[in-house]
Structure 1
Amino acid sequence: MPSTTSSFEGNINSGPTCLSQTASMAGLLTTHCRDQLAANHLFLMMRIITLACFLLSLNVGSYAHVVRRQDSPTVSPMPASTSTNVEPCAIASSLSLPSGTASPLLPIPPSKALACLKSVPVDVENDAALIEYLIPYVLFQSSLGDLTEPPSGYLLPGFDILGGLEEIKSKLFSGGYSNQWEFAQDLYSIFTEASDGHFNYKPSLLTVFRFRIPRNVISISSDGISPPKIYDLDDVLFGPRQGYQYSDIISIDNVPIEEYLVSLAKARSQDPDAKYNSLFVSAPFDTSSSFGQEFRRLHDSLPDESVWRFSNGTTRTILNVAVFGQLPPDIIDGDDLHAAFELPPPETTSPSSVQKPSATSTQLPPPNPTVAGYPWPVEKHFDDNVSGYFLNGSYTDTCVMAVLSFSPPEQERGNGLIEFRRVVRDTIDACKKANRTKLIIDLSANPGGHLLPAFELYRSLFPTTDIWDGSRIRAFDTFDFIGQMLWDIPDGRRFFIDNTVDKDHKSFASWSDVYGPVTFPHDSLTSLLRKNFSAPEHDGFLVTGFNTSEPARKQPFAAKDIVIVTDGFCHSTCPTLLGLLTREHSIRTIALGGRPLDAPMQAMGGVKGAQSLNFHDLYNFIDAAVKENNNNIPSVLAQSGLFPSLHPAPSSPSSTPRRRAAASTTATRTPAPAPTRTRRCSSSTKPPTASSSTPPRRSSTSPPPGKPPLTSPGAAPSASPAAPSTRTAPLATCPPTRPRQGQEPRARVRRPRVANIQRDRGLRDGEGCAGICCCSCGRERGEGGCG
């Protein structure tokens, strides 16, 4: 198949136009374009400009950007069929190259990979211990109560996380699982059903093989008005060059294509349209993150081949693959795979025995002058996080700022925050110098990142406007204990709740003022928390307007001359910025893509959690609190059985295999996800039927007023009490959860992200999460409850 390169084609006087649907929502004008173009960058930029010009009262025109063909992973030829007498896992292991070899991905038929995974026997005792281990950490998730019973109008049905975990445990003990793979699928479904980009745990067994369709699909409306159709990307790219008229896909394996795609849309977005958009190819997805193209890679399993049927009556047989990297050579059966990937390594004598990698002085290549798939920029961040552009032709009064990510500061090439500010300011200054008075902010495929760049961009556009960033944290006994132990220690307070002030930007007098709690319909939360912007962070960085030694900047654009473009995939920090701009200044939005429906869609379809923490963060908080309390735990917490363990998890989520003989091997920690300051408003997909492997939703009741219980509704408390001042594991098979006096716990396994700090956003109806305020409410509704 011939190759293609991306290029910028300037103005095209004719092209697809868009029928916009305009809705007035409490004074907020939001335009939503429902034709699905998120995956097709051939028309994406054309549509952005067409709609933006309409909103900004510009002359209608368009320009196009040629979509780049996505490179497939390098794969070796499919192995020949092997005798069925050989253990399935031995087949894969025999194909694996030696450790350390720079090798391509190795493909095998999906049926062989699935047979290997299903040959792992279920480990009932260890799996039950893992669930008990996870529950105390899951209790930090701020949306537990709201997820069980979302408000009316929310687009996804509710899901009881803790009840689902209890259902899995019951299924384990009743013999409901035939193999370990079935258990791992059910456990992972608990986290995917929550539809929360900050809530994740993937069992290691599910990372051994990756099931892939070696094709990409795109969704195109022929004229921007008619419903879109689904096409094979290669047909669209190369059909005209090779002299054939391509046709749209109508079914895969006899399942209607739309039904097939909707069932596959499992991305952890809180909106079904954002989930749908992440299936396809787009230049923003390809450049900004590892998300997108999930049609080809987001599969639990696949048949060895699939039959695609097209509207012109033809069919095409696609050979699917399961790819993997390197497996230990001594894996011959499912037991070996379980030991290599799931069981944690034996205890080491001390953390000091773990050899740390030595620092290297590898010189980084110079940054690319352009962002892949985008035209030549006016300004560009060295990590491509933000870039500025001038539109060609008649759009002489408009500029574009593409924000692909709010990633944490990058220290390898310099301070990423300073670079982000430079690009934003220089782009604005260049626009003003060229007499360009209108701005398009493109937030397509933005996965979020660090808070400060979002606040910096906001204050660069509105230098004198207050940043409303109210947040709340789930209030329960373990969190209260941590706060009591760390609040009076200056270093501990900074470590635990950094730069936090009350709703009036005044310092909290005591921990009880922070903790509250405030009772809401489905849970109890802390007092309102805000960020102290006068306190410098990251080498003295202060957001624009808070550095008294810096000259005041003027507002560069009128609010009516700014429009925001998204594809719904706006996660974490991205809704922080978008929410501030729409809520405080009524900035208009354009939401591209989504399911082929004649209805509005959300501009912010991703997680709105204010801050995400991983288990490693929570472990550090808990460990510091226990040490400050002389390694003692209050008896009420110890006896509850719900205090988090400080020992390794019974089963490792790390995808790195180890040899069973490598006793000194330890899993590595991953950095905490970047903190964010938005609100959580997510739920889950429809509860499965009895025939599904996913546990059904359990009923629940609201917690009583006053101090919340240790667990949220639906979770069964432990029946095994523990002695005061001693933490005991939920099951007898787990190790004691408190290290011996003077002994440091060993290096931890990588832990999933589970905690969300809820964002108090004060939503107007129709904005954000379908007009639903899922937790507390902010500026416009005081401190009352929501609903």
Structure 2
Amino acid sequence: MLLGCQNSTMSLKAAIMALGLATATVFAQDSSPTEPCARLSAIATDKNTTFFPADLTLACLRSVPLAKAGNLLQLSGLRVFLEFQSDLEYLKDPVVGRIYPGVDLLAGVDKLTSLLEDDSYDNEFDFQMDVFKLFSSAYDGHLAYVPDILDVFVFSRVQSEELRDEVADYFSLISVTTDKNDLPDVYAYSDVAALVNLDQFDYTPSPLTQINGEDVLSWLNSYASQNGRSQDPDANYNALFLNVPTLAYQGVETSHFAVSRFFQGNKTNLAFANNTNRDVMTRAQFLANKTLEGLTDGASFFDRFCTQNLTETVLTQTATLVNETQEVPFDPSSPADNSPPHLAYPNPVIISSDNSVAGYFSETYDYLAILAISSFSTTSETEFEDVVRDFLEMASDDDRTNLVIDLRGNGGGSIFLAYDLFRQLFPRETPYGAGNYRANELHDFTGRLASDNIAQLRAAYPDLAKSGADGVVLNSFNYREPLTVDNKAFTSWQDFFGPRENHGGNFTALNRFNLTDISATTIPISGYAENETTTSQSQPFMGESIVLLHDGTCASTCAIFSEFMSSQMGIWSVVAGGRPQAGPMQGVGGVKGSQVQGMFVLYSIITTIISTAPLTDQLGFIAKFGNNVIESTTQALSRAAAGSSLFIQASLNFRNNIRQGDESETPLQHIYEAADCRFFYTAEMYVDQSAVWDKAYDATWGSMECVGGSTEHPSSVTGGRNITAGPPDVARNFFGGNETMYMGEIFNSTTSRGNNSSPDGGDGDRGDGNNEDSKDENGGNMLSTPWLMALAVTLLTSLLVL
């Protein structure tokens, strides 16, 4: 328990309790019916809709007054969290493998601070949008910060005025080739049936040539740079279009052309090759779990949507996670009972209850099996593992000798499912998986405390120690948990932490997970602990009979698995889609870091370590870091988008993934890795996934020619896996479009921010986001309660990587 410091020195606990964990602002009220937020409220009341005029919604957002003092504190807290971003120095000073421009995130925070202090912003929305842009400019799917005000609406393109309120009526695009030797064109997805069966329709679909008067490829590449979060431009280009595996798994449209956080005007004009035009409507879609009714102006909008305290945020997240992480008993169905996850799929021979993994037998090739893994994020890890295990047995019994592992649309999930899948495919191989952390002062201080006081920590939280989950939570804070690259124990905190200087920064020693302990306490992994006997099982497929099928989406856990397969076993990969040009493309286009860390989880771990430390260490923390580190990080978390996605919307890449044998210890995130072959989609592939699998088979073991210049790149498996090869010149071809989302505006702008605000906005009192009257009286105590650490365990063990 934290104890107070006598006289003038305030203890950490007192500082936390004084903070209160809530932010609120009292603004001058104006109930004028001309206020844009009041007009939105009227529409919501009259029409009972969640879709609103786009320009009116933007005017409402830009009428929200600036909370300057609270925002300065928020930036200070974000700076604390960013010190844990594993590749800060590589982002600031890019190596040859990075395609997008580098970004100095800490300098960006300093610039935003200066802009705030100089009164360069006149509304809350424009400031928070620049915060969002700064984080997104890293193009790291693990590094995310979505402010609360940006998560109230998204802007959606819809099919028609009449159906503008239908969630399923998004307007989507596809990129397809109509001849095997042609580069693909962009079409409306609504034309896909006509493209497949021209003789059954009375018109011939025409490709797009311009969007809003700009060349279609230039516009799309700029838009992809603005909306994408992947480190590869081809992956972000693919994300503009409808993705069938993602649609089948999630059940909703997620393409970036259809849905965006950025205002795109009330309509988008599309010009087609046949000299016709079409205007596509944009509507603002209301996402929040609160109501718009009763809003009178921007100030009341802030009070409703931008003042959620941290206690409320955590409780919302806890309620959601209980449902998301529950175990589902495994009861495999017979093939006759299995229905496909989407009309474009054939019937699977086996499928998980959440559609995350399924097995198929090809009807074209009698010896081909397909393991389709849409996500490693599942409602039940054991069911996932059992589906894979049963399918591999089915394939063997049916004499299937070749395997396509379809990873399209897979953005990651539970880390250790990648380890288990690899071991099921190669029972006698040991997955490498070494990585390192960025070594910073706060990590060093708290890691020493945790390592020195591990007995006190476990005594304070006996349920966690009993379950063994504390080993996962404290893996990077207790040197006894991780292993060296040789699978030996570290001898001390200094042996683990170092630091070791590299590329202008400090890093910990390379380390690996203790898979035996994790398999025994967290997620069962084939070949470890109670599953150790699985190493005696026969290998289901020869390495040369397996191919990975990608579309650039593969990230995080998917990237870990792909690295095992390509680096350790030399498995080839084939990739679909990308920009319409010759040349190679990365199959793993998403984040390649090996551990995402929720900012709230990191916050709770650190404060828990400090709260159980001896008083002298608590005082040492205050003396070294001050009280502001708690207050500011609390503010940053309080202003993050809440709900079931908090873990995703306030997070960072905590651990680098390092290739085995790479003496430079360059994070894989900054190494270019071309696939071994590339092909473009056809319209038929959107209505029949078997056509995609057949193409992958033909590209690997048949006579199909790959896209010109896409084979044997030096970074590919077939090209030698040269980590210094770097991307080809065409990888930086943006067809005249922008190559980054901010184009230097955050760093170089000296003009006032937010000058495009609605005339109705920006006139309210500037709030500081820290009104004392609204603070949660009980909030200050939450950091020293056991349920908070338990929540951190739930987050880490169920969603260790997304």
- Please state if 1:317 is matched with 2:275: no
**CA distance change for structure 1 residues 364 and 97 in 2, over 3 Å: closer, same or farther?**
farther
**Alpha-carbon deviation of 1:197?**
0.7
CA distance in 1, matches of 2:273, 2:503: 51
1:710 is matched with none
CA-to-partner distance for each residue in 1:391-411, whole Å, 9 max, x for gaps?
A: 113x11211111111115x3x
2:553 to 562, 569, 589: 569
Residues 272-421 of structure 1 mapped to structure 2, 5 A cutoff: 272-289=233-250, 292-324=254-286, 326-345=290-309, 369-372=339-342, 373-393=344-364, 395-408=365-378, 410=379, 416-421=380-385
- Please state if 1:230 is matched with 2:230: no
Q: Which letter does structure 1 place at the counterpart of 2:482?
A: T
Q: Which letter does structure 1 place at the counterpart of 2:405?
A: I
Q: Secondary structure at the match of 1:590?
A: strand
**Alpha-carbon deviation of 1:619?**
1.3
Residues 355-504 of structure 1 mapped to structure 2, 5 A cutoff: 369-372=339-342, 373-393=344-364, 395-408=365-378, 410=379, 416-488=380-452, 489-490=454-455, 494=471, 495-497=473-475, 499-504=481-486
**CA distance change for structure 1 residues 682 and 264 in 2, over 3 Å: closer, same or farther?**
farther
1:9 is matched with none
**Alpha-carbon deviation of 1:359?**
8.8
Contact 1:249–1:309 (CA under 8 A) maintained in structure 2: yes
- Please state if 1:252 is matched with 2:211: yes
CA distance in 2, matches of 1:198, 1:633: 33
Contact 1:450–1:676 (CA under 8 A) maintained in structure 2: no
User: Structure 1 or 2: larger helix share?
Assistant: 2
**Alpha-carbon deviation of 1:638?**
3.4
1:54 is matched with none
- Matched length: 614
Q: Secondary structure at the match of 2:203?
A: coil
**Alpha-carbon deviation of 1:734?**
9.8
- Please state if 1:626 is matched with 2:585: no
Structure 2: runs of 5 or more not aligned: 1-30, 159-170, 459-469, 659-666, 671-731, 733-737, 751-767, 797-802
CA distance in 1, matches of 2:269, 2:507: 51
**Alpha-carbon deviation of 1:564?**
0.8
Q: Secondary structure at the match of 2:39?
A: helix
**Alpha-carbon deviation of 1:106?**
2.3
**Alpha-carbon deviation of 1:643?**
3.8
CA distance in 1, matches of 2:444, 2:611: 16
2:512 is matched with 530
Contact 2:500–2:509 (CA under 8 A) maintained in structure 1: yes
Q: Secondary structure at the match of 2:403?
A: strand
CA distance in 2, matches of 1:288, 1:154: 30
1:597 is matched with 581
CA distance in 2, matches of 1:268, 1:420: 27
CA-to-partner distance for each residue in 1:148-201, whole Å, 9 max, x for gaps?
A: 011024211100111111111111122222322211111100111011111111
Q: Which letter does structure 2 place at the counterpart of 1:532?
A: N
**Alpha-carbon deviation of 1:446?**
0.4
Q: Which letter does structure 2 place at the counterpart of 1:396?
A: D
Contact 1:646–1:745 (CA under 8 A) maintained in structure 2: no
Contact 2:438–2:655 (CA under 8 A) maintained in structure 1: no
**Which structure has more RCO (C-alpha within 8 Å, separation ≥ 6)?**
2
Q: Secondary structure at the match of 2:175?
A: strand
Contact 2:555–2:592 (CA under 8 A) maintained in structure 1: yes
CA-to-partner distance for each residue in 1:131-151, whole Å, 9 max, x for gaps?
A: 112111121111111100110
What's the TM-score, normalizing by structure 1? 0.70
Q: Which moved more, 1:529-538 or 1:382-391?
A: 529-538
**Alpha-carbon deviation of 1:472?**
0.4
Q: Which letter does structure 2 place at the counterpart of 1:428?
A: L
Q: Which letter does structure 2 place at the counterpart of 1:634?
A: G
CA-to-partner distance for each residue in 1:335-370, whole Å, 9 max, x for gaps?
A: 11112111344999xx99x99899999999999633
CA-to-partner distance for each residue in 1:650-671, whole Å, 9 max, x for gaps?
A: 67345569xxxxxxxxx99659
**Alpha-carbon deviation of 1:574?**
0.4
- Please state if 1:183 is matched with 2:139: no
Contact 1:108–1:322 (CA under 8 A) maintained in structure 2: yes
RMSD (Å) for aligned C-alpha atoms: 4.1
**CA distance change for structure 1 residues 163 and 421 in 2, over 3 Å: closer, same or farther?**
same
What's the TM-score, normalizing by structure 2? 0.69
CA distance in 2, matches of 1:449, 1:550: 23
**Alpha-carbon deviation of 1:688?**
7.0
CA distance in 2, matches of 1:242, 1:639: 69
CA distance in 2, matches of 1:360, 1:390: 33
**CA distance change for structure 1 residues 112 and 534 in 2, over 3 Å: closer, same or farther?**
same
CA distance in 2, matches of 1:226, 1:246: 16
Q: Which letter does structure 2 place at the counterpart of 1:526?
A: T
Q: Secondary structure at the match of 1:501?
A: coil
CA-to-partner distance for each residue in 1:71-93, whole Å, 9 max, x for gaps?
A: xxxxxxxxxxxx99611000111
Structure 1: runs of 5 or more not aligned: 1-82, 411-415, 658-666, 699-730, 757-787
Contact 1:478–1:643 (CA under 8 A) maintained in structure 2: no
Contact 1:341–1:654 (CA under 8 A) maintained in structure 2: no
2:230 to 257, 269, 272: 269
